Amino acid sequence: MQVLLSHILKWQHQPDGRSPSWQTTIVTQRLEIEALLRQSPSLRPKLTSELVQNYVNAVKRAVPQTGLRKEDFPVGCPFTIQQILDEEFLPT
């Protein structure tokens, strides 16, 4: 989830850097999460309960990759679990 969130954040905050590899990572992470949820449906509630910590860690991952500061990102996750996992969702 942290890798997925960090790439979604990069996509949102660096439109000039959007690349097929970023999109591939987003797709791949979503597919892997969905596969894990199919294998272990009991993990689904953890997506919500651990979203805050996963978002904090995703920002930590995104900061060195983007050159932005932690303060440049929203304090709380701006995306819902549904958006994060939605294969059609990419923030503008």
- Residue 69 has φ and ψ, to the nearest 5°, of -100, 160
67 in the Ramachandran plot: left (φ > 0), alpha (ψ -120 to 50) or beta? Answer: left
Number of domains comprising the chain: 1
Residue 91, domain member (yes or no)? no
Residue 65, domain member (yes or no)? yes
The domain of 13 spans 2-85
pLDDT tens digits, the chain, 92 residues: what are they? 999 999 999 999 999 989 999 999 999 999 999 999 999 999 999 999 999 999 999 999 999 988 999 999 999 999 999 999 999 999 98
Instruction: Return the pLDDT at 43.
Output: 95
Residue 4 burial (CB count, 10 A)? 20
DSSP 40: -
Instruction: Return the pLDDT at 78.
Output: 96
Residue 69, domain member (yes or no)? yes
Instruction: Return the pLDDT at 4.
Output: 97
Residue 66, domain member (yes or no)? yes
Residue 92, domain member (yes or no)? no
